[in-house]
Amino acid sequence: MTRNWFITGGTPGGFGMAFAEAALDIGDRVVLTARRPAELAEWAQTHGDRVLVLPLDVTDAGEVQKAVGAAEKRFGGIDVLVNNAGRGWYGSIEGMNEAAVRAMFELNFFAVLSVVRAALPGMRARGDGWIINMSSVAGLRGVTGFGYYSATKFAVEAVTEALREEVAPMGVRVMAVEPGAFRTRAYAGFADEPIEEAIAEYRPMLEEVLAAMIAQDGKQPGDPRRGARAVIAAMAQNPPPRRLVLGSEGFDAVVATLEDSLAEIRARETLSRGADFSAES
């Protein structure tokens, strides 16, 4: 059965494009959205009427509704939604500019909700569909210097977990995807971005973080194309996973983090259980 995909964040060389090409490779049709759709025009022409490129700023709820409506009109419905649009900003928890923090939540979290809410009615009506929310390894472990970015992804994880249970009886499946460091254009702009930090004591830490990101640009171990294909393979499993970590480094980091957390929780079991009312109460 041919499926119709709706993918946000269609930057050339990024995960959005990788998902689009992977879907096309298995015979599906794709709606790929981008803030700069002209960058995708030549690519779209090579796929004819199997591809629809739409302009979309996911932080504009009106544009989201319009784009989802256009996708449903063109292909008859959305079978797979991939919430991929987003980006990361760095800064300290204490000193990061509040406007930047709120902008990051608007893009990485609230926009995800807007797209989900726009696409779900059609899926519920058909009793079938997939929602793939692109989270991050940073959504499972806080990253120093990217605390607020981690917070947006932790929020995506929580919503995805709850949404999965809410829509399962309606035939809609939901998966969180947590990539580690992948060779996309995500790090490309860091070299040109000055450190905007209000508190001098945090600048050395942020300088180290920024230098590491710049040094890794173009050398990230993760391959977006292979990552997208891994997600499609996971979707075909019975049962499919609730989440999928992508990349060896990310896998190792998540496993270590969760094992450390579990060990710490268990080490404080007596204190935890001691907070209940006593049996005599």
Q: What is the pLDDT of residues 133-181, one digit of tens each?
A: 999 999 999 999 999 999 999 999 999 999 999 999 999 999 999 998 8
Question: Is the pLDDT reported for residue 6 higher than 90?
Answer: yes
Catalytic-labelled residue, pool 90, 136, 148, 149 = 149
Catalytic one of 92, 114, 135, 150 = 135
Q: CATH number of the domain at 4-271, please? A: 3.40.50.720
In this predicted structure, the answer to whether residue 222 has a pLDDT above a threshold of 90 is no
Question: What is the predicted pLDDT for the residue at 196?
Answer: 82
148 is catalytic: no
pLDDT grade, residue 78 (50/70/90)? very high
Domain map of the chain by residue range? 4-271
Q: Is the pLDDT of residue 93 over 90?
A: yes
Q: Which pLDDT score is estimated for 210?
A: 87
Range 155-176 burial, b when 16+ CB lie within 10 A, else e = bbbebbeebbeebeeeebbbbb
Spell out the residues 6+ positions from residue 261 whose beta carbon is closer than 8 angstroms to its own: none
153 as an active site residue: the answer is yes
Residue type at 202 in one-letter notation: Y
pLDDT of residue 189: 65
The 10s digit of each residue's pLDDT in 96-133 is 999 999 999 999 999 999 999 999 999 999 999 999 99
pLDDT given for residue 187 in this prediction: 63
Q: How many CB atoms lie within 10 A of CB 276?
A: 8
Helices (H), the chain: 15-25, 41-45, 61-75, 98-105, 111-126, 147-167, 203-216, 224-235, 248-267, 269-273
| pLDDT given for residue 191 in this prediction | 62
User: Of the given ranges (172-181, 187-196, 216-225, 253-262), which has the lowest mean pLDDT?
Assistant: 187-196
Q: Is the pLDDT of residue 52 over 80?
A: yes
Half-sphere exposure of 54 (CA within 13 A, CB side): 24
- pLDDT by residue (tens digit) across 181-213? 888 776 666 666 778 888 999 999 999 988 888
For residue 80, how many C-alpha atoms fall within 13 Å in the half-sphere facing its CB? 26
Average pLDDT on 267-279 reads: 94
Determine which one of 136, 153, 187, 202 is catalytic: 153
- Determine the pLDDT at residue 13: 85
8 Å CB contact between 67 and 40 = no
- 228 pLDDT more than 70: yes
Rounded to whole angstroms, the Cα distance separating 12 from 23 reads: 16
The confidence score (pLDDT) of residue 188 equals 62
73 is catalytic: no
So what's the pLDDT on residue 185?
Answer: 73
Q: What is the dihedral of CA 245, 225, 36, 138, to 10 degrees?
A: 20
Q: CA angle at residue 239 from 237 to 244, to 5 degrees? A: 70
Residue 109 DSSP label: I
| 8 Å CB contact between 141 and 180 | no
DSSP state of 107: I
Task: Tell me what the pLDDT averaged over the chain comes to.
Answer: 94
pTM for the full model?
Answer: 0.94
